[in-house]
Amino acid sequence: MQNVLDKYESVMEEKVTYWYPCGHVEDFPENAGACIKYKHAQIAVFYFARMGKWYACQNLCPHKVEMVLSRGMIGDAAGIAKVACPMHKHNFSLEDGTCLTAELPAIATYPVKIEKDQVLVGFNF
């Protein structure tokens, strides 16, 4: 299981080697998450329609190692965009991946940009 977790590492925007077009803006639910597949990775993509902002992170919750984060509820904690895991409601910052409710490993985050209604997630693999 641990090696599944190790597969995911945050990608900084400046380190992106490939912007993967994963769908159109209208494919994604507003103010909620959806999961995309890129190579063997599962990535949760969140569309904060109220702010017009997009975030992406690993779909894997590090707590019990389940592929579920994309189904979590999103929102903010003191202005920080976050997702709450549907399993046990652990909160993770979507800005830097840190867990806001427990001492859990941070999740990997990925940059997202929109070009011509295309949603692009940045990877370095």
Partner 1 sequence: MVGYKFCEKLVSKTTYKKENFEVTVFGEEMRPAYDRVHLSEYFLNNDARSLELANQDWYAENGIDLKLGELIKKIDIQNKTVESHKSEIYDFDKLIIATGSYPFVPTIEGVDKNGIFVYRTIEDLDQMIRFSEKIKSKGKNKAVVIGGGLLGLEAAKAVKDLGLETHIVEFASVLMARQLDARGGDVLKSKIEELGITVHTSKNTKCFAGEHDVEKMHFTDGSELDANMVVISAGIKARDEVASAAGLELGPRGGVLVDDKMQTSHPDIYAIGEVANFLGFTYGLVAPGYEMAEIVVSQLYGETKSMLESPDMSTKLKLLGVDVASFGDAIDIHHEHTPIIFENRHEKIYKRVNISADGTKLMGGILVGDAAEYNMLLQIYKNGMSLPKNPEDLILGSRNGAESLNDVSALPDAAVICSCENVNKGKICCAITDEGFDNYKAISKQTKAGTGCGGCKPMVQNILESELKKMGRVVKNTICEHFQYTRAELYDIVKIKGITDYDEALNTIGLGHGCESCKPALASIFASLFMETANKQPAIQDSNDRFLANIQRNGTYSVVPRIPGGEITPEKLIVIGEVAKEYNLYTKITGGQRIDLFGAQLNDLPAIWEKLIIAGFESGHAYGKALRTVKSCVGSTWCRFGMNDSVSLAVKIENRYKGLRAPHKLKGGVSGCIRECAEARGKDFGIIAVEGGLNLYVCGNGGADPKHAILLATGLDEETCIKYLDRFLMFYIQTAGPLIRTAPWLEKMEGGIEYLKSVVVDDSLGIGTELEAQMEKLVSDYACEWKEAIENDAIRKRYKHFINSEERDENIVFVPLREMKMPEPWK
Sites of contact with partner 1 (CB under 8 A):
1, 4, 22-23, 27-32, 34-37, 42, 45, 48, 50-51, 64-68, 71-73, 75-79, 81-82, 84, 86-87, 89, 91
Token readout for 53 is 């902002």
Nearer to partner 1, 91 or 109 (CB): 91
Min dist CB 52 to partner 1, Å, is 11
Write a three-state SS string for the chain: CHHHHHCCCCCCHHHCCEEEEEEEHHHCCCCEEEEEEECCEEEEEEEECCCCEEEEEECEECCCCEECHHHCEEEEECCEEEEECCCCCCEEECCCCCECCCCCCCCCEECEEEECCEEEEEECC
Min dist CB 14 to partner 1, Å, is 25
Token readout for 98 is 């840190």
Q: Tokens 């329609």 sit at which residue? A: 49
Nearer to partner 1, 22 or 112 (CB): 22
Min dist CB 77 to partner 1, Å, is 7
Min dist CB 106 to partner 1, Å, is 19
Nearer to partner 1, 11 or 120 (CB): 120
Nearer to partner 1, 14 or 40 (CB): 40
